[in-house]
Amino acid sequence: MRFLAGVVVLFALAGCRTTLNPAKPDVDAPVEARIRTECDVRDYPHATDVPEGAKNIGFVQVPVAETDEQTYVNLRKAICAKGGDALSQMVWVREVGERVPSSLRANAWVLP
């Protein structure tokens, strides 16, 4: 009886084994997909939400693209190009007298 109980416990323990393989970047993926995995820009609503010790590298501004999503991707790329990995206070910028935004601006940060 003990032998049977031991075999059941061994099978149960063997069935609970989990293996996690690290993610590898896909070099054949489009540039936009690689940017999101290679340079992860975290979005914080306010500068006070950024972790303590983060270094501010200034505002980054990009012109409006064909879609809002593409404009956001371009902003993230621009922050990565400056060495940043976080943004805060993202706002659409409109020229005086204009109703349509001309660019997107955010405060860029390097996290500790």
* Each residue's pLDDT tens digit, 12-33: 666 655 555 555 555 555 555 5
CA distance 86 to 70: 18
pLDDT of 57 > 60? The answer is yes
5 belongs to a structural domain: no
CA distance 75 to 106: 8
103 belongs to a structural domain: yes
106 belongs to a structural domain: yes
pLDDT of 37 > 90? The answer is no
0.75 cut: is pTM over it? Answer: no
Q: Nearest CA to 103 among 71, 58, 55?
A: 71
Query: In this predicted structure, what is the pLDDT of residue 16?
Result: 59
60 belongs to a structural domain: yes
17 belongs to a structural domain: no
CA distance 83 to 55: 11
63 belongs to a structural domain: yes
Query: In this predicted structure, what is the pLDDT of residue 69?
Result: 93
- How many independent structural domains does the chain possess? 1
Query: In this predicted structure, what is the pLDDT of residue 2?
Result: 76
* Residue 71: domain span: 29-110
55 belongs to a structural domain: yes
Strand pairing of 103-110 and 42-44?
unpaired
64 belongs to a structural domain: yes
Q: How many helices (H) and strands (E) are present in the chain, helices listed first?
A: 3, 4
Reading the block at residue 63, the tokens are 């012109």
Task: Give the CATH number of the domain where residue 54 resides.
Answer: 3.30.1660
- CA 94 to chain centroid, in Å, comes to 26
